Structure 1
Amino acid sequence: MTSRPQHAGVAGFTLIELLVAVAIIAILAAMAVPHFLEAQTRSKVSAAKSDMRVVAGALESYFVDNNHYPPPSGVGIHFQDPFAQPIAKRLIPLTTPVAYVSSIFPDKFRAKGGWMFEEQPLLFDTYDYVTPNAIPGEGSGESSGAAWRIASAGPDLYQAYGGRLVTDTECNARGVDYDPTNGSVSTGDIVRVGPVDTRFPSATDITNPKRPGIVRAPAYKEQW
């Protein structure tokens, strides 16, 4: 009678070994995730700035053809005084009848809410856009002293419009320029402005009660 070969038993992982392996994986993940998120944020910041450069070019081309910038109130059936909502309605003139841009870019950091519009993310479908005197009498206080201003909510996902009038201190505190050295997810907007608008009182004149809280025109360090 032929005897069957005997096989040595295969030892499995002990519970302690499995727990050690899980702990090592968790430590490695905890080290890797922050670096991944920071790289993702940097990529989105670069993409937002790229979008805004394109929009800036479209706005200036529109101005050359029409001698004015698109009104933030919107036009035609999209008119809503003083600001068309959602924001994309303000930029429709850049897409039709002449396509200065092929489409309206969504904000890479779509806001969850904004100053005076808490918890209303549907309003912020693209980069905020405004021109001087959108609210009569406020001059360029809404536009950082420039002929136009566009702003991304930035990584904090709060749209503070790059700041507003000098009296809007809370908004201005949150509308400062986003600076990654303060942390990859920190307070601040990503802002681009047009040329200085000379039709209104100086944005730097301290006797002007409607001056902007954050002046970015004519010389602006963030004009990437």
Structure 2
Amino acid sequence: MSTIKQLQWRYATKKFDATKTLSKEKIDVLKQAFNLTATSFGLQTLKLLILENKEQRVPLLQHSYNQKQVVDASHLLVICIQDNIEVNDINEYYKNIKAIRNTPDSILNPYKNDLIEMMDRKTIEERQQWSKNQAYIALGNLMTVCAIEGIDACPMEGFNPEAYNNHLNLSELGLESVLLLPVGYRADNDMFATLKKVRKPLTETVIEL
């Protein structure tokens, strides 16, 4: 199927078929897609938490405004940011570049030092917001890949991040939850699956100069 046809097929799934589970192969595609997501400087200050165990997800329902997708979906993806960005993160990133591309330090060091200085000028809150901006890029990328792969998904901001952090012990990992993406397969009786998309005409959303 064409990309546009698949994007027309996708919708924010309101009701998942709780009896259907995504294959390991499908989950692997989502893992790879997340890891390949573009991020500013390529620094990847994000982590993807994948929850499959439904019993583990049940307590999260009350922290998600009782949106049943959190439990009924095959898997719940939680996009997280680092609670801080430190010099070591940047050093490790450039060490990885050197190992993979064999780029000499004489070329890498000026870029590395500039990035260290830039982050040093930011407060922790500004660094977190910078990472949150990357999280939305990752969410959009995952949604598109889901559509192409025939995976149903529901992007969600409507949850209590602090409660998620506590329940999942994210602070021990130096992480904070930002966005949710339940994924799986739509239920046959989800009325929203057959509704026509409501979008403005292209002439109102695209400007060609």
Under TM normalisation by the shorter chain, which class is it?
under 0.3
Which structure: larger Rg?
A: 1
TM-score by length of 1: 0.22
Which one has a larger percent helix, Structure 1 or Structure 2? 2
